[in-house]
Structure 1
Amino acid sequence: MADGIEPSVAARDELAGVVDLFGWLTRAELSRALSELAFKRRAEVDEAAIDAAIDLAVAEYALVPAPGDALSGDGETDHTAESTALAVGPAAFPTLPEGAEDLPHILDIPDREVDRVRLADAVLDRLREEAVEAIDGGDSDRLETLADVTYDVEAWAPVDVDPVRTRILAVVDE
Structure 2
Amino acid sequence: MKPLLLVLLSLFMFTGCKSPEPRKPISRASKSFTNKSLKINKAIVKKEEAYIKEMIQKDSANTYITSADGFWYYYNTKSNDSITPQFGDEVEFNYNLLTLQGDTIYSRKEIGERAYIIDKEEIFTGLRQGLKLMKEGETVTFLFPSHQAYGYYGDNDKIGTHVALKSTVTLNEIKPEIK
More strand by share: 2
Q: TM-score of the superposition, structure 2-length normalised?
A: 0.20
- The TM-score normalised by the length of structure 1 is 0.20
Q: State which structure, 1 or 2, has the greater radius of gyration over its C-alpha atoms.
A: 2
* Structure with more of its chain in helix, by fraction: 1
